[in-house]
Structure formats: structure tokens, C-alpha cells
Structure 1
Amino acid sequence: MTRTSDNHIQLQLAPPRNDNGAQLKLQEGLQQILRDNLPQQLPAGDALNQMRQIPAISRPGGDAVAQVIKSMLSLFSVPPKTDAKTTQQVVQNHLQSSGLISQPRANPAASQRELPPLQQQLGKLTDLADQLPPQAREQMLTLVKGLQARSASHQATSLQNWQEMPDGSLERQYRLDLPIRLERDRLEDSEIHIQQRKKPDEEGRFVSQWSIQLHFDREELGPVDAHVSLQQEWQLSARFWAEREETTRLIREQLDGFQQQLGASGFEVEALQVQRGKPPRDTRSPVNHRLVDLHT
């Protein structure tokens, strides 16, 4: 702040100084988290599938464990065909469990923040594991640790790619699992990568651009990738790639209906395209290359 005359001062806001030392320590800490957790991590679908197959949970004493696992299936997975509201709630549960977004409180006056949904369920399983026979207990605790390591790996990978600039622009990324329930509630692993870019427009107003990348590999369809971008809140475009000709044809046949559904939901669809092959570059997650990447 500088005084320019008796009645005037000049105020200039200086951008925050970039503490390279603190940034380096943060990156080193995130790398250590990944080194510690990547070898132990289990994708959510794999872990839940294995939990449900532990014989002891179907016997007396294991009923409570089975109920918690059933609750986790409801909270953190979706059926292959589901409504947008259900998917939105499941993704919200995952994001809240990541600790990277705030969790709304049922009671604003509460003095203590509730644990995220995933940590609540894993804590219950850890406590209930004592009721299981020794071998089943060890299996359960190993799977719980695998899920905890998976969550920590996703958090560290997400935070590595966060950037916030002095002018207010930013880039944030979120990684999370979204298991898909198939026949008999068998889960197929999917991973979502959500990306937000917030930059000033021509008038200086900050607007967000979201992108989604999805990859899955089903036996009946083969590898399929989808890239979706969302601008100005409602302007949507999407491109699909499939390695099999019959899958490419199947997706193309569904595009008109898909566009109508998007329009009915209020989206302005700019382009929907499908082509055979692979996307131009591999953007799958370094945490797990097996299934889904979502940038939003």
C-alpha cells in the first residue's frame, strides 16, 4: 500500500509467494504414500467380491459382517443400467470418502466431523472381524487394509495433480473406484478420473470446464473408451472408441437415443462421435490400468 497524496493511497495485491520447499516436501510425502500403499491396494470391486466369498460370513456370527458388506455394495457400486440420481449419489459417496471434498453435516452444530462413509464401513468390518474364526478374520483384515490402501493411493494420485495459480485459475483431479454390479451382484472394477479446469473467460469471469474419461473391457464388448467434456455447465460433447467392429456398430446405433436422453436432461449436445480403434493417447490411471478413467 502506497500513499500517493494527502487523500489517496494506492493498494496493490501481490500474488502469494510460491514456497518451492513446501511444495517439494508435499510431493515427496505423496510419493511416499504411493510407495507404501500401491503394493497393498485392492480395487474396490475385487476386495468386495473376495469379502463376500469368505465362507464364515454366511455362518452364525458372520451375519453382521454380511450386512455391512451388503451396505457397502449399495453405497459404492451401481448396476449396469441405473438412473442418473443413483449414480450421482454413489459418486458423491466416493468423493466424500476421499477426503478431497467437504462432507455435508446432518447437524451443523455438531462439534466433531463424521467419518466419511467408506471409513465408517471399514471401521465396522474391522471391529466385527473379531467375531469370525481366525483364518476368516485374517482374510477380512487383509482385504480391509487393501481397500484402505486403495483409498490412500487415489488421494495421493489426485493431490499430485492439483494446481492453483495466483490469478485464481486451477486444475483439480479426482480418482475413485466405481464398481459395476453384474449378475448375482458380482462386481466388475471401474476407475473414474474426474478433472476440473477453472479459468477466466473473455470477460474475466471464472468458468469451469469438466472432462470425463471412461475405459472398460467387458468380455462381450471388448475394450471401450469414452471421453466426455462439459463446458458452460450444459454444453456437452462425447467421443467413443471401440476395438471391435460389432461394438462400434452397437454404440453408433444407440447414439440417437443417448442424445435424446441428454437433451431431456437439459444438456446442449454439441457432438457425439464413435470410431473403431483406441483413443489417441493412453490416459488411463497409473494406479490401476484395468478399467475406467473418468475426467470430469
Structure 2
Amino acid sequence: PDGTQLTTWQLELPMRDQRDIVPLQIKLQREQDAKREQTEKPETLWRVELAFDMAPLGPLQVQAQLLQGSLSSQIWAERDGTAQLIRAELDHLRQRLTAAGLTVAELACRQGTPPQGPRTAIDQRFVDETA
């Protein structure tokens, strides 16, 4: 209704974790503001959500947003030890992202699961590899 165009892609990729195959769930959204004047380039907001469960880290979810070269990201780890490990590496990740040409606005890790709110959650597999 506000003229914003939202395009969403969801997919699940098999990922090898030593001898196991675990699903990597990906949700990618592109939101484009169509209300801008025609002389201006429309701003595009990219959102990426990843969900996976790898031993010994446990379930992880990543939510990231990219707007005009500025990245914001939240990482959610269900296990406290995993959250502490990720927090210890966030400065290194920030340096790597900056070296890749991105401006990093927010980069944080929290213990638990992300609030879902009105957005669609990626909560079930598309393919059952045991079938």
C-alpha cells in the first residue's frame, strides 16, 4: 500500500558438517522504495536471514541488513558458550567486513532465539533427507 516493492527468496541448502548433512536455511529479501522521485535512484534494503544447527555450536540464526553499503547484523546462539565464543570474534569479523568495503553499523551476538514479530520464520525443512 505504501508503494514499497518487497521480493523474497527462501531456500534450503544441504551443508556438510563432518559426516553429517545439515540444512542451511536462507531467506533473502529485497525491499525497494518506489515512492522516491524518478530522478533519484531508489534505495534498496537487503535483508538476509540464515538458520543452521552445527555440532558442537548448536542452533544459530543470523539476521543482517544492508542499506547503501552499511551493514547491521544480529547473531543469535541458543547456547551460552557459543554466544560467548562469537562475541569474542566480533571485532575480527568487523575488521574483515570493513576491509571488504562495507560500513559496519551494528554487529552483535545474543544468547537465545530472535523475536519473530510479524515476519515469516524459516521453521521447517522443504526436503526431508531421511525419506
Q: Which AA in structure 1 matches 2:100?
A: S
Aligned partners of 1:241 and 1:166: how far apart in 2?
31
1:247 matches 2:71: no
- Match of 1:222? 58
Matches within 5 A, 1:171-182: 171-182=6-17
- Match of 1:43? none
- Match of 2:49? 213
Larger radius of gyration: 1
Task: Say what the alpha-carbon RMSD is for the aligned residues.
Answer: 2.6
Alpha carbons of structure 1 residues 235 and 249: separation in structure 2 relative to 1, 3 Å: same
Q: Which AA in structure 1 matches 2:49?
A: Q
Alpha-carbon offset, residue 183 of structure 1: 2.3
User: Identity of counterpart residues, as a percentage?
Assistant: 32
Aligned partners of 2:35 and 2:70: how far apart in 1?
15
**So what's the TM-score if we normalise by structure 1?**
0.38
Consecutive unaligned residues of structure 2, counting only runs of 5 or more, are: none
**So what's the TM-score if we normalise by structure 2?**
0.80
Aligned partners of 1:201 and 1:231: how far apart in 2?
17
Higher share in helix: 1
Higher share in strand: 2
- Match of 1:188? 22
- Size of the aligned set, in residue pairs, is 123
Could you list the runs of 4 or more consecutive aligned residues of structure 1 that deviate by over 4 angstroms after TM superposition? 200-204
Alpha carbons of structure 1 residues 286 and 271: separation in structure 2 relative to 1, 3 Å: closer
Alpha carbons of structure 1 residues 252 and 202: separation in structure 2 relative to 1, 3 Å: same
Consecutive unaligned residues of structure 1, counting only runs of 5 or more, are: 1-164, 291-296
- Match of 2:121? 284
Alpha-carbon offset, residue 199 of structure 1: 0.2
Q: Is the 8 Å Cα contact of residues 13 and 24 (structure 2) preserved in structure 1?
A: yes
Alpha-carbon offset, residue 257 of structure 1: 0.9
